[in-house]
């Protein structure tokens, strides 16, 4: 079986490929083909991916393709991981937002809006190619904002698309470690939307633990995703939050910390990636593949340690020792995707958190609305676990963001500035017609006419 990666020159592709190596044989995958419009970067990332395979003496084929059709044709599974406009577009998105007085995080709020407006039309073009050249392939969308993008593609009739995010699986991994229990023995149930979800159940060996965990400050402070929240808030809600809810529950803190730092996440990532590629271009990867891989791993560790540090005001300055760094095992995006493939090939199935159509899972939302929930995945298909009625405290945010998403999709499809302004006006992190109007105009100008 063949996996095609559209956007294969992204730096996380190396970790993605490494994550395949423990499981590709069991899942009958024998080839990965990487495609990207940035040929120079694709060549570098492709060589690093091949070295990751060779250093473990595995037989997985890794190829690069310089034409999309070549990569897509005959693929059984396709990964879409695009950043339309490159790293600098994220800097532009965040800067415009901050100059206007709002948070510009790339998946949450107006940063996500700008990214979606640029990304969705391009992904539709790729989906049309997939329909023609790999009509039976499952599409795993990693492109941010994942939930909004998946909503748009589903509304266009691309039925075999699943939104993937590694935040829930990473949270579960850390929870299992903190509770000294194997992941397979810990059941964690999520509901909501992508980057706007809550944990409603935590069971260890079938025993419900959520009320106990909410009252355990040591546990809350010991998990990265929960430690940034006021514990009293979590007890008031009665659920454990997705980390991106920080932007809603502690909005002024996030904005203050970003402004105070004099930098944004986008600027940090752009600088790291530029330095990484400059070093990699100076080395002969064919002759020094391990040295090149260690350069890559150093900068990926720098990048990882900066995650959420600006927004939360934390500081991770521990020195990183070059030269003997290990390749991450890929439990993130690759892990969720492989778990999904395994589930789709199995009789018994497995529980995963995915962005899929609601199908009556959450009361009050339409069947076609894309939600992020725990699903049972098996040969019988992907079936969301029933959530039923959602507490009003969460419901208000879910409905506001879902309406924002639908209006954004409509604005993109009809190229309507008016719909775009309406969408941002309703978004809780903007919540102002006058701000929405200014923001839409600024992004439209910055990108040469998004709605033309």
Give the lowest-confidence range in 14-23, 101-110, 114-123, 302-311: 302-311
Query: Which string of DSSP letters, residue by residue, matches 100-115?
Result: TTS---SSSSHHHHHH
Mean pLDDT throughout 358-362?
95
Q: Percent of the chain scored above 90 by pLDDT?
A: 84
Give the residue from 53, 5, 77 showing the smallest Cα distance to 339.
77
- 24, 77, 158, 166: the active-site residue: 166
Mean pLDDT throughout 282-302?
95
Mean pLDDT throughout 419-427?
97
- 77, 244, 247, 299: the active-site residue: 244
Is 80 exceeded by the pLDDT of residue 308? no
Using N-to-C axis directions, what is the helix angle for 146-155 and 110-133, rounded to 10°? 50
Binding residues for Mn(2+): 165, 195
Give the residue from 151, 100, 102, 105 showing the smallest Cα distance to 124.
151
Give 47 or 264, the one with higher predicted confidence: 47
Per DSSP bridges, beta strands 77-80 and 161-163 are: unpaired
Tokens 């159509």 identify what position?
Answer: 357
What's the pLDDT score for residue 287? 97
Mean pLDDT throughout 315-319?
60
pTM: 0.93
Is 70 exceeded by the pLDDT of residue 448? yes
- Asked if 244 is an active-site residue, the reply is yes
Phi, psi of 302 (to 5 degrees): -55, -45
Torsion of Cα atoms, 406 then 410 then 416 then 417, to 10°: 10
- Asked if 159 is an active-site residue, the reply is no
pLDDT tens per residue across span 319-355: 787 878 888 876 677 889 999 999 999 998 899 999 9
Is 60 exceeded by the pLDDT of residue 360? yes
What's the pLDDT score for residue 129? 97
78, 130 Cβ separation under 8 angstroms = yes
What's the pLDDT score for residue 324? 82
What's the pLDDT score for residue 42? 97
How confident is residue 315, by pLDDT bands cut at 50, 70 and 90? low
Give the lowest-confidence range in 182-191, 313-322, 413-422: 313-322
Mean pLDDT throughout 98-126?
94
Is 90 exceeded by the pLDDT of residue 266? no
Please state, in angstroms and rounded to a whole number, the distance separating the CA atoms of residues 13 and 6. 10
What's the pLDDT score for residue 260? 83
Binding residues: 90, 144, 165, 195
Per DSSP bridges, beta strands 77-80 and 2-6 are: parallel
Binding residues for substrate: 90, 144
Please state, in angstroms and rounded to a whole number, the distance separating the CA atoms of residues 209 and 30. 41
Please state, in angstroms and rounded to a whole number, the distance separating the CA atoms of residues 370 and 354. 10
Please state, in angstroms and rounded to a whole number, the distance separating the CA atoms of residues 191 and 201. 10
Q: Is 262 left (phi over 0), alpha (psi -120 to 50) or beta?
A: left
The separation between CA 99 and the C-alpha centre of its own chain, rounded to angstroms, equals: 26
What average pLDDT is seen over the chain?
A: 93
E strands, 277-344, in order: none
Q: How far is CA 413 from CA 116, 167, 390, in A?
A: 12, 29, 30
Give the residue from 378, 382, 343, 328 showing the smallest Cα distance to 27.
343
How many other C-beta atoms are found inside a 10 Å radius of the C-beta of residue 447?
17
What's the pLDDT score for residue 148? 97
Write out the two tokens for 106.
Answer: 């790339």
How confident is residue 303, by pLDDT bands cut at 50, 70 and 90? confident
Is 80 exceeded by the pLDDT of residue 262? no
Tokens 């941010």 identify what position?
Answer: 144
Q: How far is CA 55 from CA 21, 48, 59, 61, 323, in A?
A: 11, 10, 11, 13, 15
List the alpha helices (DSSP H) in 210-287.
210-214, 217-222, 224-227, 231-237, 246-249, 251-261, 265-281
Is 80 exceeded by the pLDDT of residue 382? yes
109, 427 Cβ separation under 8 angstroms = yes
What's the pLDDT score for residue 348? 87
Is 90 exceeded by the pLDDT of residue 362? yes
Mean pLDDT throughout 230-258?
94
Is 90 exceeded by the pLDDT of residue 311? no
272, 90 Cβ separation under 8 angstroms = no
Please state, in angstroms and rounded to a whole number, the distance separating the CA atoms of residues 356 and 276. 35
Helix (H) / strand (E) containing 370: strand 370-378
Give 310 or 139, the one with higher predicted confidence: 139
Is 90 exceeded by the pLDDT of residue 71? yes
What's the pLDDT score for residue 317? 55
Is 60 exceeded by the pLDDT of residue 60? yes
Is 60 exceeded by the pLDDT of residue 13? yes
Helix (H) / strand (E) containing 241: strand 240-241
């Amino acid at each position: 079986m063949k996996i095609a990666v559209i956007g294969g020159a992204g730096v996380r592709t190396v970790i993605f490929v490494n994550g395949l190596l423990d499981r590709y044989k069991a899942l009958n995958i024998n080839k990965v083909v990487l495609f990207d419009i940035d040929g120079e970067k694709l060549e570098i990332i492709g060589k690093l991916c091949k070295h990751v395979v060779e250093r473990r003496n595995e037989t997985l084929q890794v190829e690069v393709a310089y034409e999309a059709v070549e990569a897509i044709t005959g693929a059984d599974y396709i990964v879409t991981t695009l950043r339309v406009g490159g790293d600098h577009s994220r800097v532009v998105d965040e800067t415009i937002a901050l100059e206007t007085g709002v948070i510009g995080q790339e998946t949450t709020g107006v940063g996500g809006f700008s990214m979606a407006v640029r990304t969705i039309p391009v992904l539709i073009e790729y989906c049309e190619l997939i329909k023609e050249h790999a009509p039976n392939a499952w599409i795993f969308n990693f492109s941010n904002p994942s939930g909004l993008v998946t909503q748009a593609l589903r509304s266009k009739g691309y039925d075999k698309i699943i939104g993937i995010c590694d935040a829930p699986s990473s949270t579960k991994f850390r929870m299992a470690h903190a509770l000294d229990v194997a992941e397979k023995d810990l059941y964690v149930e999520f509901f909501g939307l992508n980057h706007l979800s809550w944990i409603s159940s935590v069971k260890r060996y079938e025993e419900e633990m959520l009320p106990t965990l909410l009252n355990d400050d040591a546990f809350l402070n010991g998990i990265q995703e929960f430690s940034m929240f006021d514990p009293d808030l979590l007890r008031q809600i009665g659920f454990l939050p997705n980390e991106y809810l920080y932007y809603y529950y502690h909005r002024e803190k996030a904005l203050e910390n970003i402004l105070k730092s004099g930098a944004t996440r986008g600027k940090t990532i752009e600088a790291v990636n530029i330095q990484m590629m400059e070093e990699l271009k100076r080395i002969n990867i064919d002759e020094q593949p391990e040295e090149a891989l260690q350069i890559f791993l150093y900068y990926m560790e720098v990048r990882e340690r900066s995650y959420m540090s600006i927004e939360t005001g934390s500081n991770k300055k521990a020195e990183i020792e070059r030269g003997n760094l290990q390749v991450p095992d890929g439990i993130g995006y690759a892990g969720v995707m492989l778990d999904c493939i395994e589930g789709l090939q199995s009789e018994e199935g497995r529980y995963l958190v995915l962005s899929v159509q609601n199908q009556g899972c959450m009361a009050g939302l339409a069947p076609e609305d894309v939600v992020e929930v725990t699903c049972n995945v098996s040969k019988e298909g992907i079936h969301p676990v029933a959530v039923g009625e959602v507490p009003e405290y969460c419901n208000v945010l879910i409905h506001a963001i879902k309406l924002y998403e639908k209006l954004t999709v409509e604005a993109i499809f009809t190229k309507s500035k008016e719909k775009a302004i309406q969408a941002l006006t309703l978004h809780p992190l903007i919540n102002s017609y006058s701000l929405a109007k200014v923001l839409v105009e600024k992004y439209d100008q910055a990108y040469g006419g998004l709605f033309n």
